[in-house]
Amino acid sequence: GGVCAFSTSSTTRHPAISSSTAQNGVRKGSVMASGGFGKTAAGSGMSKGKKGMKKKSRKAPSYELKSGTKIQDVLNPDIFADPNTIETIKTQIRNGEICVIRNAFIPEFANAMYEELDDTDAWSKNEDYFNDGYGFKHNNVYSKSDFSPLFLQANEMFETEETKEFMSELTGRDCSGESVGAPSYYEVGDHSLPHTDHVGQRSVAYIWHLSKTWKAEYGGGLYWAPEPLANAYLHASFNTLVLFSVTPFSSHFVTSVSPKSKGNKRLAYNGWWHSSWVPKQTDPIEEMLASPEQRLTLTHAQIQSINDMLDDPWAPRIQPPERHEAVVDLRRNIMEELYPEAKYSPVVLN
């Protein structure tokens, strides 16, 4: 494992699925997988509504994305024009590592997004806690009706076919489905407990950090759990793009924001690219998922679709019988590899 980090001058839980659950599919997997847009992804969720701040008069954005802009147009060319750097990013993400790219976007775009995040008064507090121990508390803008023109333009840019093709090539994951993204703001006490993001069709996650004057002592650090402690903290910063492949092993959390942060804002724009593939009986899934590396790219929804092929009493039985048994074996490999048994067991005195 590792953290891949790139920088240039700014100027140029898995779901907690028991063995019994594994036999019956993954639909009831732990909400600890969700993260992010908790209201819709994790289940119930709570929104406490807008913070009640005095309405600001919205100023014109200092930067505008033209219709049809793709992510390649606004990424820092000093980084993304280098073939060696691109190859390193590809390797790191395919190896399940988190990729941290400093000064990722051109300064004009990054500064404009910071100004929009700092200026918006549309934040809603989202907070919820679940019976498996997962919980979150942070501010977001989820309603598109509250998005500024620049937020809408950024969402459109992340959603273009050219952007999704670029991200698919960069990450080795299918990003051809929908793209979702939204602003986030962590204030004192805000946090997000350990989770993987492995929900629905999420394929690749991105966090675009846009915090200025932020210090490590303020908290709010992204903690990448697969890493040793010395390398695991990724503190909030300005114009840093974080990418990772969403799997049952992409465990991470955001540490609580400290009272020392008063007067500073942990700001970001984050979201996911999704896969568009839904497995069907007519797909050659045995060949498509022949290797552990291929099986690791399955989204939560795709795993459930394979389970439904085998377990749904209303679904036609896979034919011929030999193929049915092959898919049963495939499902067994998927569950053993992606949801392994715990490496420890509690010591209990009788």
Q: What does each of the 350 residues of the chain score in pLDDT, given as a tens digit?
A: 455 666 654 333 323 222 223 333 343 334 345 555 543 443 334 445 555 444 454 566 678 999 999 999 999 999 999 999 999 999 999 999 999 999 999 999 999 999 999 999 999 999 999 999 999 999 999 999 999 999 999 999 999 999 999 999 999 999 999 999 999 999 999 999 999 999 999 999 999 999 999 999 999 999 999 999 999 999 999 999 999 999 999 999 999 999 999 999 999 999 999 999 999 999 999 999 999 999 999 999 999 999 999 999 999 999 999 999 999 999 999 999 999 998 888 898 87
Calculate the alpha carbon distances from 34 to 30, 78, 163, 201 in Å: 8, 34, 24, 11
